[in-house]
Amino acid sequence: MARLLPRRAVSERTLPIIRYLTGLLARRQPDDVEIHTVGDVTVRLHRPPAGATGPHPAILWIHGGGFVIGTAAQDDGTCRRLARKHDAVVAAVEYRLAPEHRFPVPLDDCHDALVWLAARDDVDAGRVAIAGASAGGGLAAGLALLARDRGEVRPVAQVLAYPMLDDRTVLRDDIDQRYLRLWDSRSNRFGWSSYTGLAAGSRGISELAAPARCEDLTGLPPAWIGVGTLDLFHDEDVAYAQRLRDAGVDCDLQIVDGAFHGFDGVRPGSRVSRSFLAGQDAALAAALAR
């Protein structure tokens, strides 16, 4: 499958086309999905199976897309699975995209959704986790920092699938681009500059925008981080996991040998993808049971 995939799917040129296609997807509303307005955005809500007793644990899911594309609807299947697997209320936030809405707008949208989710009558506010993939994983990591600082909601876990954490990766010239798929250094530069409004790697970028820049990682919820060895984000994710551990934060790091960015979405039925999802589920189950 990797041989058939492009090294980059997102650029300034392809952005309008991809947004048009994902916009069509966002119009769909399956019968089991509720759409709620939270502040300036909407949230797609997935309820646990009928008969599950509440109040329920909850998961805030944040979709990927390099900060510039994507929709909460693209992960309906993921959220539906999480709701059933964990008897949880799962909310996917339709945060506003860059470059039209730069940091901190998308992160604030996610925080508003987190506060709204924890305040629901059918949710146990003491068992709320945050999770996301790619840029959504980066937003989830930033949200963990923001939630710690604001203190309104205290997530019990942060589950980060190949998270986009460090804009300074664009400064590296030692990364072999040949084996990257779907997201390479050019896409990375475009995504970060769109999100922050600054040249990626420059001074002045907030640690809440790029969590790898944060010097104080103490007091954060336990983390699960998963990434493939052929992912542009591999090194920054491994380094962040170690820094969490050094700060006294429990962190389970799952590295998938030979896996490219978004591999589990391309081939969800493969053995490595099932193992990858099982790692996320184990981390969520342990956290939500506390």
258-268: average pLDDT: 93
- Judged against a pLDDT cut of 90, whether residue 58 lies above it is answered with yes
Contacts of 248 (CB under 8 A, 6+ apart): 218
Residue 158 CB contacts under 8 Å (≥ 6 apart), including other chains? 129, 130, 131, 140, 141, 143, 144, 220, 221, 222, 223, 224
Tell me the mean pLDDT in the region 14-20: 89
- How much is the pLDDT for 99? 96
Q: Could you give the CA distance from residue 212 to residue 272 in angstroms, rounded to a whole number?
A: 27
Q: Domains along the chain? A: 2-288 (3.40.50.1820)
Task: Report, as residue numbers or ranges, the catalytic residues.
Answer: 134, 231, 261
**Distance (Å, whole) CA 283 – CA 49:** 21
Helices (H), 87-184: 105-118, 135-150
pTM, two decimals, is 0.95
CA angle 273, 223, 196 (to 5 degrees): 90
Looking at residue 54, its pLDDT comes to 79
Q: How confident is the model at residue 49 (pLDDT cuts 50, 70, 90)?
A: confident
Q: pLDDT (tens digit, 9 = 90+) per residue, 59-79?
A: 999 999 999 999 999 999 999
Interior angle at CA 26, CA 21 and CA 28, nearest 5: 115
pLDDT of residue 227: 98
Quick one: pLDDT at residue 216? 98
The predicted-structure confidence for 19-46, as pLDDT tens digits, reads as follows: 998 888 778 888 899 999 999 999 999 9
- Is the predicted pLDDT of residue 6 greater than 90, yes or no? no
